[in-house]
Chains A and B, each alone.
Chain A
Amino acid sequence: MLKIENLHATVDGKAILNGIGLTLNAGEIHAIMGPNGSGKSTLAYVLAGRPGYEVTEGSVTLDGEDLLAMEPHERAAHGMFLGFQYPVEIPGVSNVQFLRTALNAQRRARGDKELSAGEFLKLARAQADALGLDMEMMKRAVNVGFSGGEKKRNEMVQMGIIDPRLAILDETDSGLDIDALRVIGAGINRILRKPDKAVLLITHYQRLLDLVEPDFVHVLAGGRIVRSGGPELAVELEREGYGEMAA
């Protein structure tokens, strides 16, 4: 589904990614772990097309199409979703308005019928309920006045509504208590653990990986994947740290 080859990228002229190669097939969950500053978030932003993140070498394809040639909204319409490490607050725009606009823009781009206000609200309510987010909060401005945990839940509600085929989740587990982590882990499994979907799970810690078991674990250091393995690699990292691998 997603094929990353020899990906190099810079931010403000500084090289952050130095030749990443990674393939995600449908039905797979990949975890990317690594110390601070290893390039994890940069990888997520590059894949989503954030302005200011410049690809200097390499290629990325999504279902064989050149992902890097697409605008961010086109990547979304092709089924990609980025779960933000720091979700953005947008005063004056309600979650409901934002998500209905987003979902219908994606549906339009794919040639599907747009959802009516009623159909959308039903869908939004179901996803908010499943993730324990009060529907009243969905009517409020996007992430404004939300706690850190509520923002992360909101990311997952958005993901549930949009129902992407490929999700890149950037430290979705950071800042969550153990109960919230359980809810979010269950949400990821429910929405994404399907044979036609794939997930790139960026995380620091083993905790989330106990709930969402990855098929592959990769260690990122210095903008490169320095080691790959199965779920046992995450356990090893938890025990021994990144020290030697990152060196």
Chain B
Amino acid sequence: MLLDLPSNRTESWRWSDLSALPALAEARPTGRVPDALPWLACAKGLRLLFVDGELRDGDVEIGPLAIDTRHPLGRLAGKSGWSLRLGRDHAPPGLVQIVHVSTGAADHLAAEIVLDEDAQASIVETFIGSGWTNRLTRIVLGKGARLMLSRRVMGNVGFVSFTDQASVGEGASLVAATLAIGGRDTRLDGEIDLAGEGAYAEAAGALLARGRQRHDANLVIRHRLPNGTSRQLWRSVADDRAACSVAARVEVARDAQKTDGEQSLKGLLLDRGATINAKPELEIFADDVKCAHGATVGELDRAALFYLESRGVEPAEAKALLTRAFVADALDRIGEKDVREAFYADAEGWFG
């Protein structure tokens, strides 16, 4: 496959490092799936297992999907994939869990999540392994539908890229929360359209990086109609020579009066050699809106560290406590207790 990748000279790709992708695209998968997979312990629910982009286990429809995108990575995802369609008032029993295993090569997969009027679902996607996992996901929420989408990126080496396109209908709600730990680089692109009146969207994430790792998130939330609410809440932590970048934009169209938008992008540097980029943007054409935005980058509070240590907390534990507290805002957006606690438990390993 000929890879046509964007260069760093393009503004929206300036913080990404795609240099590992050509080799991964040429690599051959080992096909070895670990014995233990990170399923969350819950009695009910649907489980899907994808290995190198192929459905290995689970009951889901795989078929042609026509998702229109010009995104340079998203468009590689192809014309077929899985889809989850829920009819009016429908909700699957329990969580929908999807585990994506990559065994050292590149795989591309599209997906479509369509919830009709008042349908609701909670989906947890977990990414493990060592290759390049590339995903294009279209989300369409009908009137009053509710989707909680939680993703955790784990694994040792490699790359994970998401291209998400979401359309949120009247009074519908989309909450998407991402946790990136482990050693893989990530590139997250999300476009969320608040296409119905009174729609609600939330994009939250905790990006944790060390070594020379890079996480790069690019979000756009578009308010098209009145009374919409959006929240973007990102917490980045970079250690060593790692870099975390978040560019988040809110667009408010002329008709989208009474929009309530909030952006909070915070970065924590654990080493002077690490990098945090935060780029909040607001583009507002309506005149009766409330849009708050904030971006901060800092180090751990020395006074707080000393306070903790003076009470007997060991220095490493004090740092872990404060780092955990820093990302808690983002992980707390996850609605289900079981999922939230599992994500916290994964993050614990990172804090040390």
B326–A87 touching, CB < 8 Å: no
> With contacts A51-B306, A92-B329 known, is A102 near B311, CB below 8 A?
yes
A51–B302 touching, CB < 8 Å: yes
**Distance to closest chain A CB from B96 (angstroms):** 30
Q: How many residues of A sit at the interface, in one of the four size bands?
A: 20 to 34
Q: Does B84 contact A (CB under 8 A)?
A: no
**Closest chain B residue to A77, Cβ basis:** B312
**Distance to closest chain A CB from B317 (angstroms):** 6
Per-residue 0/1 for B297-332: is the Cβ within 8 Å of any A Cβ (1 yes, 0 no)?
A: 000011110111111111101100110111011000
**Distance to closest chain A CB from B219 (angstroms):** 23
**Distance to closest chain A CB from B332 (angstroms):** 9
A93–B321 touching, CB < 8 Å: yes
**How far is B329's CA from A141's CA once the two chains are assembled, in angstroms?**
13
A73–B306 touching, CB < 8 Å: no
* A residues near B325, Cβ cutoff 8 Å: 90-93, 141
**Closest chain A residue to B332, Cβ basis:** A92
B302–A105 touching, CB < 8 Å: no
**Distance to closest chain B CB from A143 (angstroms):** 9
**How far is B309's CA from A27's CA once the two chains are assembled, in angstroms?**
26
**How far is B309's CA from A109's CA once the two chains are assembled, in angstroms?**
13
A76–B312 touching, CB < 8 Å: yes
**Distance to closest chain B CB from A9 (angstroms):** 16
> With contacts A88-B303, A88-B304, A93-B322 known, is A72 near B310, CB below 8 A?
yes
**Distance to closest chain A CB from B256 (angstroms):** 32
B307–A90 touching, CB < 8 Å: yes
A109–B326 touching, CB < 8 Å: no
A158–B311 touching, CB < 8 Å: yes
Q: Does A127 contact B (CB under 8 A)?
A: no
**How far is B313's CA from A158's CA once the two chains are assembled, in angstroms?**
13
**Closest chain A residue to B307, Cβ basis:** A88
* A residues near B315, Cβ cutoff 8 Å: 71, 73
Q: Does A101 contact B (CB under 8 A)?
A: yes
* B residues near A162, Cβ cutoff 8 Å: 311-312
* A residues near B308, Cβ cutoff 8 Å: 90, 98, 102
Q: Does A131 contact B (CB under 8 A)?
A: no
**How far is B306's CA from A211's CA once the two chains are assembled, in angstroms?**
30
**How far is B322's CA from A48's CA once the two chains are assembled, in angstroms?**
20
**How far is B325's CA from A98's CA once the two chains are assembled, in angstroms?**
11
* B residues near A93, Cβ cutoff 8 Å: 321-322, 324-325
**Closest chain B residue to A143, Cβ basis:** B307
A102–B313 touching, CB < 8 Å: yes
**How far is B322's CA from A51's CA once the two chains are assembled, in angstroms?**
18
* A residues near B324, Cβ cutoff 8 Å: 92-93
**How far is B310's CA from A99's CA once the two chains are assembled, in angstroms?**
11
* A residues near B313, Cβ cutoff 8 Å: 73, 98, 101-102, 105
**Closest chain B residue to A104, Cβ basis:** B312
B304–A101 touching, CB < 8 Å: no
> With contacts A73-B314, A101-B313, A103-B312 known, is A87 near B307, CB below 8 A?
yes
A82 interface neighbour in B301, B302, B310, B322, Cβ under 8 Å: B310
B312–A90 touching, CB < 8 Å: no
A99–B322 touching, CB < 8 Å: no
**Distance to closest chain B CB from A19 (angstroms):** 25
* Interfacial residues of chain B within 205-236, with CB under 8 A of chain A in the complex: none
Q: Does A38 contact B (CB under 8 A)?
A: no
**Closest chain A residue to B305, Cβ basis:** A51
* B residues near A142, Cβ cutoff 8 Å: 307
* B residues near A109, Cβ cutoff 8 Å: 312
* Interfacial residues of chain A within 157-171, with CB under 8 A of chain B in the complex: 158, 162
**Closest chain B residue to A101, Cβ basis:** B313
Q: Does A85 contact B (CB under 8 A)?
A: no
* A residues near B317, Cβ cutoff 8 Å: 101, 105
> With contacts A73-B309, A101-B321 known, is A90 near B304, CB below 8 A?
yes
**Distance to closest chain B CB from A140 (angstroms):** 13
**How far is B268's CA from A91's CA once the two chains are assembled, in angstroms?**
14
**How far is B303's CA from A87's CA once the two chains are assembled, in angstroms?**
9
Per-residue 0/1 for A50-90: is the Cβ within 8 Å of any B Cβ (1 yes, 0 no)?
A: 11000000000000000000011101110001101001111
> With contacts A51-B302, A98-B321, A101-B317 known, is A92 near B311, CB below 8 A?
no
* B residues near A77, Cβ cutoff 8 Å: 312
Per-residue 0/1 for A196-227: is the Cβ within 8 Å of any B Cβ (1 yes, 0 no)?
A: 00000000000000000000000000000000
**How far is B329's CA from A48's CA once the two chains are assembled, in angstroms?**
32
Among A48, A71, A77, A102, chain B packs the most CB atoms within 10 A around the CB of: A102
> With contacts A92-B328, A93-B322 known, is A106 near B302, CB below 8 A?
no
Q: Which B residues contact A (CB, under 8 angstroms)?
A: 301-304, 306-315, 317-318, 321-322, 324-326, 328-329
Q: Which A residues contact B (CB, under 8 angstroms)?
A: 48-51, 71-73, 75-77, 81-82, 84, 87-93, 97-99, 101-103, 105-106, 109, 141-142, 158, 162
- A49-B310, A93-B322 given. 8 additional CB < 8 A pairs? A51-B306, A73-B318, A90-B307, A92-B325, A98-B311, A102-B311, A106-B312, A109-B312
A-B contact pairs, 7 of them (CB 8 A): A48-B310, A49-B310, A73-B315, A90-B301, A92-B324, A142-B307, A162-B311
